[in-house]
Amino acid sequence: MFSNILLAYILTSTQPLWVQQWSWATFVKKAQQSQRWLPFTIAVFLVSVPVFFQAPLVRIWPMLSLIMTGGWLGVSLYLLRTKETELWGDLLFGFSWTWLTGSIYWGWLRWEPLLHLPVESIGVPFAVWCLWRGWGKVGNWFYLGSLFGTAVTDGYFYIAGLIPSWRQLMQVDPSMAMPIFQNAIALAGTPWGISWAVVLAMTLFGVGVFPLQSPEPQWWVFGGAVLSTILVDSLFLVAACFA
């Protein structure tokens, strides 16, 4: 039926055929691009959610945040049941890993920076196993992309000497945090801190942009998760400067 309508339009249209072909090709190209950019955008959003929503929640009600992992997982499994929503269920499955690990660390272990990356990485064996089996490519690559961004950010904290400030911020009353913030900003503003910030930001940019050459949604999700690290870290830096 659709092919008959399209054929009738071509035969009765006064536009040249090459214009119609160009318009149709443009439409298809834009549709394909939107199918890539939407997962990318959602991935960026999902990386930002734990930072701006989960962080304050987990400090007050860590157990509630942990229990919510089951809710995310349930919605994910429901969306995975149909072809139309399979991609979003897959992506939400990977997000469930980031939510779970974030709840565990920021809820009970945030006072020790050395445990941050190991806790955030507890889902890696499962993610690698799933990818080896060819299952959950979108969600698992989202989780790994988010984890890569976390690893780079933590690496900067170690290189710039910000780990002591991290420990102090997690232990003092919020009203006494300003001097610690100022000291951390001073360390980050040294030539050493700025140089490494530029190097690591370029690393994140390169790792995030390179996968976007592929049409596969899992690579766009991975790229979005990595690139969003630059955005989130920049927002934190701006907030710290104006605090």
Q: How many residues in the chain?
A: 243
Burial class (CB in 10 A: 0-12, 13-18, 19+), 187: middle
The pLDDT tens digits of the residues spanning 155-193 come to 999 999 999 999 998 888 877 888 888 899 899 999 999
* C-alpha neighbours within 13 Å on the C-beta side of residue 132: 6
The residue that leads in pLDDT, 238 or 125, is 125
Q: Which helix (H) or strand (E) holds 21?
A: helix 17-49
The pLDDT tens digits of the residues spanning 24-40 come to 444 334 444 557 899 99
The pLDDT tens digits of the residues spanning 66-102 come to 999 999 999 999 999 999 999 999 999 999 999 999 9
Residue keyed to tokens 């988010």: 146
Least confident of 15-24, 40-49, 125-134: 15-24
Q: What is the pTM of this model?
A: 0.85
Q: How many CB atoms lie within 10 A of CB 61?
A: 13
**Three-state SS sequence of 121-148:** CCCHHHHHHHHHCCCCHHHHHHHHHHHH
| pLDDT at site 34 | 57
83 DSSP assignment: T
Query: Please, which pLDDT band fits residue 233 given cuts at 50, 70 and 90?
Result: confident
Please provide the average confidence, as pLDDT, over all residues in the chain: 86
Domain ranges of the chain: 33-242
